[in-house]
Chains A and B, each alone.
Chain A
């Protein structure tokens, strides 16, 4: 009796292993860790599996919703040498950390050359660390200034010319409308602050690529940093950020901008366009609202000085511990094919990194602002490219939140002090 039980127990233990063995037969499976989207990446995975003619099959695994969560999951797995990660969708600011830790498989020269042809400059810069291409640009994002045509007209703003933050804050205040910005203590706040500092001609960090944390010199307590803080403070003091300014993220901003009573201006990613159109189609938004939408390049900090809009998007990295590195690079090249990027832009609202993809007639039809996005991508400034990005960003969020408490006299200096202390291991976060 006891022997039979032991036999059964052994069988129960071995059976799943046998199942694993049979699953291995057939083409090798490449695991692609994707950030949540509207289903576009899964569709591309299927397309590429089919196009490979049986060379590989791509399966997708969903990462957490926000970028820091995605980083946490991937980096912990990679620190444990997880061989199941073949391809990963990476948010650009975290790429240096992955590259520095040796978590990304080196890109072969021929692949590097092929995947950087006709790609937006900002996207290539975001995929590069210490002069080497470490990831493959997939889609590239940038923020535009969205405005309600009626409000801009009533305020007498000429939107065919670049406008400044001071102008839109003043216009919104005069008209009793809002300027929707990302004031929440999260990554999006860093995106905003970085764009302001870069637009004012400065940088958050002096030497972001330094090897040692203690060697990284933050440079917020400068004219550019103080000017950026001034813009934040002016906006908050004018009361045009809306009641939820301290917790406003991109989604809340998009809702604010759909509200006819208060919407005036907004800086946000292009997803707001398909979102509003989708709402019109489903009947929850009046078509006149979308007809009132206008768009322009990101606002300037100082008149006459070209703005540096935020740069975001997703790049593809190949896991250093993957057992199918060559196949993974083949698959990556299939995924970033410009035609697929164009299709992905139309279906999911995420702009391509490939400049030729913008010429696709379907893209031009679905996104009347496609050319502005392309121009914005060329001007976009990445966030500090350091392997300590998470520390820098979190320190910035701690010292520049909430927007109402930001002051040019204190916030930039406090941010510099905290970043220095954290990076030299002298402070908690």
Chain B
């Protein structure tokens, strides 16, 4: 994992000339280019407007609400509180614990998924043409299952009363309650998350693999490179953009983990995530102000992660789709 994550910055330079069009280099554009750009803007305008309405508006509303002391069952007592709610959240140990749990789950799941997903992508890429559609469908099935449903499936599998896992695993006592302690509970949560979303990452990586020109690998083979060398020195460097995009999407997704925790432990055994904390304040306690503050902080963290990937690791979101053309 570390070597994969460590490789990209150096390779970013290779990508740039190919990934970007003449746009960045040429200050003057032809009429045609300008018209194309205008058409492009017009074509994406409806989507942007819809996004502003369904994403932008709620975010602004949450920011506004987070500045008030506001309980849903007592709307008359709503009072301006300034940054009081943020202060309350950031000085509470529960917030930091939830943040720690969220980071832990994110890092471990994304790392495992990247390795597993890459393996699955390789299998799909090298499978016989006749097998490929069936294989892709089979691999994608977990991703098509609703998270709540898969969470229930894992809950029942590991549950002491209805589960079968204890009797299958030789080194586990039959009376082991997986959801009683943090370590085992979080392991099951991570396992269910990995099972469910590895297909997503493998699909993104598959599109990256498809971009790597076959000639490169063949040339390396002729030069006497082993399969391992071809993978590390030819394939992976050439699909760096796809890897980073897959990592970015999954990190953002994993950071907002909620469903599995809600179903499996309901936050017990110290497994509360940041999203769960927001749910507890807003929906359970009906404290719209504090809950919105937690949500806004979560949004900021997610935005920071995206920024880190895009600026820090120089991920070019447009580049990953290059091979699709």
Asked whether, in the complex, the Cβ of A75 is within 8 Å of the Cβ of B72, the reply is yes
Chain A residue contacts of B69, Cβ below 8 A: 425
Interface residues of A (CB under 8 A from B): 68, 72, 75-76, 79, 97, 100-101, 103, 184-186, 243-247, 252, 255, 387, 390-391, 394, 401-402, 425-429
How far is it, in angstroms, between the C-alpha of A243 and the C-alpha of B281 when the chains are bound?
Answer: 32
Residues from 179 to 196 in B contacting A, C-beta threshold 8 Å: 179-180
Asked whether, in the complex, the Cβ of B284 is within 8 Å of the Cβ of A390, the reply is yes
Q: A75-B286, A429-B285 are in contact. List 15 more A-B contacts (CB 8 A).
A: A68-B284, A72-B283, A79-B75, A79-B286, A184-B268, A244-B160, A244-B161, A244-B177, A245-B180, A247-B177, A247-B268, A390-B286, A394-B284, A425-B88, A427-B88
Asked whether, in the complex, the Cβ of A243 is within 8 Å of the Cβ of B94, the reply is no
Evaluate whether A243 and B176 lie within 8 angstroms (CB atoms) in the complex, with A75-B73, A394-B284, A428-B281 already known: yes
B230 touches A (CB below 8 Å): no
Nearest 5 interchain pairs by C-beta: A243-B175, A185-B268, A101-B73, A246-B180, A244-B160
How far is it, in angstroms, between the C-alpha of A426 and the C-alpha of B166 when the chains are bound?
Answer: 42
Determine how close the nearest CB of chain A comes to the CB of B160; give it in whole angstroms: 4
Determine how close the nearest CB of chain A comes to the CB of B283; give it in whole angstroms: 6
Determine how close the nearest CB of chain A comes to the CB of B71; give it in whole angstroms: 9
Find the B residue at minimum CB distance from A259.
B161
How far is it, in angstroms, between the C-alpha of A79 and the C-alpha of B75 when the chains are bound?
Answer: 9
Determine how close the nearest CB of chain B comes to the CB of A256; give it in whole angstroms: 8
Chain B residue contacts of A246, Cβ below 8 A: 177, 179-180, 268-269
Find the A residue at minimum CB distance from B162.
A255
Chain A residue contacts of B160, Cβ below 8 A: 243-244, 247, 252
Give the residue of A101, A252, A428 whose beta carbon is less than 8 angstroms from that of B74: A101
Asked whether, in the complex, the Cβ of B94 is within 8 Å of the Cβ of A387, the reply is no
How far is it, in angstroms, between the C-alpha of A243 and the C-alpha of B177 when the chains are bound?
Answer: 7
Interface residues on B, range: 20 to 34
Chain B residue contacts of A97, Cβ below 8 A: 73
How far is it, in angstroms, between the C-alpha of A216 and the C-alpha of B269 when the chains are bound?
Answer: 28
Asked whether, in the complex, the Cβ of B267 is within 8 Å of the Cβ of A185, the reply is yes
B89 touches A (CB below 8 Å): yes
How far is it, in angstroms, between the C-alpha of A222 and the C-alpha of B123 when the chains are bound?
Answer: 64
Find the A residue at minimum CB distance from B84.
A425
Give the residue of A72, A245, A394, A428 whose beta carbon is less than 8 angstroms from that of B88: A428
How far is it, in angstroms, between the C-alpha of A243 and the C-alpha of B180 when the chains are bound?
Answer: 9
Find the B residue at minimum CB distance from A186.
B266
Chain A residue contacts of B88, Cβ below 8 A: 425-428
Residues from 51 to 98 in B contacting A, C-beta threshold 8 Å: 69, 72-75, 88-89, 92, 94-95
How far is it, in angstroms, between the C-alpha of A394 and the C-alpha of B94 when the chains are bound?
Answer: 14
Chain A residue contacts of B75, Cβ below 8 A: 79
Find the B residue at minimum CB distance from A80.
B72
Chain B residue contacts of A243, Cβ below 8 A: 160, 175-177
Residues from 275 to 304 in B contacting A, C-beta threshold 8 Å: 277, 280-281, 283-286, 290, 294
Evaluate whether A247 and B73 lie within 8 angstroms (CB atoms) in the complex, with A390-B285, A428-B277, A429-B280 already known: no
Chain A residue contacts of B284, Cβ below 8 A: 68, 72, 390, 394, 429
How far is it, in angstroms, between the C-alpha of A417 and the C-alpha of B171 when the chains are bound?
Answer: 41
- Of the A-B pairs whose beta carbons lie under 8 Å apart in the complex, a sample of 10, sorted by A's number, is A75-B286, A184-B268, A243-B160, A243-B176, A246-B177, A252-B160, A426-B88, A428-B88, A428-B89, A428-B92
How far is it, in angstroms, between the C-alpha of A76 and the C-alpha of B75 when the chains are bound?
Answer: 12
Pick from A76, A79, A426 the residue with the most CB of B within 10 Å: A79
How far is it, in angstroms, between the C-alpha of A245 and the C-alpha of B268 when the chains are bound?
Answer: 13
How far is it, in angstroms, between the C-alpha of A246 and the C-alpha of B160 when the chains are bound?
Answer: 11
How far is it, in angstroms, between the C-alpha of A254 and the C-alpha of B187 when the chains are bound?
Answer: 28
Residues from 245 to 285 in B contacting A, C-beta threshold 8 Å: 266-269, 277, 280-281, 283-285
Chain A residue contacts of B180, Cβ below 8 A: 244-247, 402
How far is it, in angstroms, between the C-alpha of A144 and the C-alpha of B294 when the chains are bound?
Answer: 42
How far is it, in angstroms, between the C-alpha of A186 and the C-alpha of B269 when the chains are bound?
Answer: 12
How far is it, in angstroms, between the C-alpha of A79 and the C-alpha of B294 when the chains are bound?
Answer: 21
Asked whether, in the complex, the Cβ of A79 is within 8 Å of the Cβ of B73, the reply is yes
Chain B residue contacts of A390, Cβ below 8 A: 284-286
Determine how close the nearest CB of chain B comes to the CB of A88; give it in whole angstroms: 15
Determine how close the nearest CB of chain B comes to the CB of A240; give it in whole angstroms: 13
Find the A residue at minimum CB distance from B267.
A185
How far is it, in angstroms, between the C-alpha of A316 and the C-alpha of B73 when the chains are bound?
Answer: 19
Chain A residue contacts of B74, Cβ below 8 A: 101
Determine how close the nearest CB of chain A comes to the CB of B61; give it in whole angstroms: 15
Chain B residue contacts of A425, Cβ below 8 A: 69, 88, 290
